[in-house]
Amino acid sequence: MKFIVSSTYLLKQLQVLGGVINNSNTLPILDNFLFDLKQNKLTVSASDLETTMSSVLDVDSDNEGVIAVPAKLLLETLKTFPEQPLTFVVEENNTVEISSNHGKYALAYADGAEFPKAVELSNPSSTTIIGDILATAINKTIFAAGNDDLRPVMSGVFFQFSTESLTFVATDAHKLVKYQRTDISASEVAEFIMPKKPLNLLKGILLGSEDDVTIEYNESNAKFTYGSTELVCRLIDGKYPNYEAVIPKENPNKLSIARNQLLGSVRRVSIFSNKTTHQIRLKIAGAELNISAEDVDYSNKAEERLTCSYQGDDMQIGFNSRFLVEMLGNLTSDEISLEMSLPNRAGILTPADGLDEGEFVTMLVMPVMLNN
């Protein structure tokens, strides 16, 4: 088995696939890339058993063969090469020899037959979406997903497809984000929960991409195909909580304010808040928003006054500043609106501008009890 490939082209593809590989694997074979050569097409795969990702590379060869190559060693070596053709030759003594312009490097390979096979999806449903839109949907929601192993359904992003729209939801019970596109739809209704790891991989690759991504899915697995790369992953098993039930419908109190101004203020004031509760207080009266925080144990306190546009009754509401900062930082609009009903009901944060036609973002932030 022998093939020739450009060093930078190979490195670029392998760095993407390398994101799948865990630092500590139960199966030693998973520390490798699988190289499957068929004439001038080299399929490289990486897997952690839950997620498998593969790319087809163009190489110069007329051989066939399958081997597993140590991922870390190969990546470290490739990073040091300037752009040049590299020749890979599989030798008799269980090593693969790489020849560059100036040297030769031999690394031991493993039997490719041991490498776990990617799951084949039986009669899947499918939807096509532009890469950048999918990356944006992941970006806007994934930060709100939980990390609680006891509630695995909340540790992923809920994909909800219908013939009218595509909806993506993430929540950790303190905050919730719903991202919806009514300008794209699926051919049939489907719901599934995607784990975070494959979503982070997809987000990194697809941001800014105008190419189509085909999403195929069944009860237990999903497959994302774009260009010459495909990612197959196991879905999170379970029923997603009824998130629509927690979004308050009647919110008569509506505050509008410049996002950066509010974000800067919350960041500053929160430095003086209690280090365990991170509690800040929003007091709204007329066109004035008063943001304050106090850490009684250390006699630290801060207060800022901002002007805003407000319709509704005067009110005081407490929030965990970390969640508020995270949400405001995730939005890109100039103006935001915060809709509230009562101090013990969730506040709804939405961007007032900067969205495409048919794009909707709703963020829900749970209040914290104020101790007067």
Mean pLDDT for 111-122 is 94
pLDDT category of residue 372 using cuts at 50, 70 and 90:
low
Instruction: Identify which of 30, 60, 59 has the alpha carbon closest to the alpha carbon of residue 47.
Output: 30
In this prediction, residue 38 carries a pLDDT of: 97
In this prediction, residue 370 carries a pLDDT of: 84
pLDDT at 371 exceeding the cut of 80: no
Residue 318 CA to residue 291 CA, distance in Å, equals: 10
Q: Render pLDDT for 217-231 as a digit per residue (tens, 0 to 9).
A: 999 999 999 999 999
Q: Is the full-model pTM beyond 0.75?
A: yes
Residue ranges of domains in the chain, CATH in brackets:
2-114 (3.10.150.10), 125-170+183-244 (3.10.150.10), 248-368 (3.10.150.10)
Q: Render pLDDT for 47-97 as a digit per residue (tens, 0 to 9).
A: 999 999 999 999 999 999 999 999 999 999 999 999 999 999 999 899 999
Instruction: Identify which of 174, 139, 171 has the alpha carbon closest to the alpha carbon of residue 158.
Output: 171
C-alpha dihedral sign at 111, 116, 121, 126: negative
Summary mean pLDDT of the chain: 95
Mean pLDDT for 19-28 is 94
pLDDT at 360 exceeding the cut of 90: yes
Is the separation of the CB atoms in 349 and 335 below 8 Å?
no
pLDDT at 200 exceeding the cut of 80: yes
Q: Render pLDDT for 261-319 as a digit per residue (tens, 0 to 9).
A: 999 999 999 999 999 999 999 999 999 999 999 999 999 999 999 999 999 999 999 99
Is the separation of the CB atoms in 209 and 226 below 8 Å?
yes
In this prediction, residue 149 carries a pLDDT of: 86
Mean pLDDT for 130-146 is 96
